[in-house]
Amino acid sequence: MKVLGINHINIVLTEEQLTQEIAFYAQVLGLTPGYRAPSTRNGAWLYSAFNEVAVIHLSVIGTQEDVSGENHFHHVAFTCSGIDATLKLLTDNAITYRFEQRNAPEMTQVFIVDPVGIRVELNFPEETVAQ
């Protein structure tokens, strides 16, 4: 078996958080809702313009207590490009971030937190921040 990359991540949330979460990932990563397999739960699947597979599945599971007790999720990492435009977008939208320059492998990593508290790591291979 070969692991080729992340297929999707699943985020559990409340009905009240669903719209906010969709908007966050649309604004920051350009993901858009698309086809979602039939389910007994409400939710959304979010797609990249460059991928036919939903990269994030949002699943409504109930109350805040239900979500908190089930969430052992730490972060999700995406391979990205366009570091300078990304930092401008985050700054323009008052989204707190930190970044680190890595040497092995060479990349810049940007760390943000989404509206429901999930840590998101954005990896920019062979890109550095313009001075």
Domain 9-125 part of CATH 3.90.226.10: no
Rg of the chain's alpha carbons, rounded to an integer? 15
- List, in sequence order, every residue forming a beta bridge with 113; answer none if it has no partner: 119
Lowest mean pLDDT among 5-9, 81-85, 95-99, 114-118: 5-9
**26-73 pLDDT per residue, tens:** 999 999 999 998 888 899 999 998 877 789 989 898 666 666 555 546
- Would you kindly state where each structural domain of the chain is located, as residue ranges? 9-125
pLDDT band at 1 (very low <50, low <70, confident <90, very high): very low
- Predicted confidence at residue 68, as pLDDT, reads 59
The two three-digit tokens of residue 88, written as one number = 């401008």
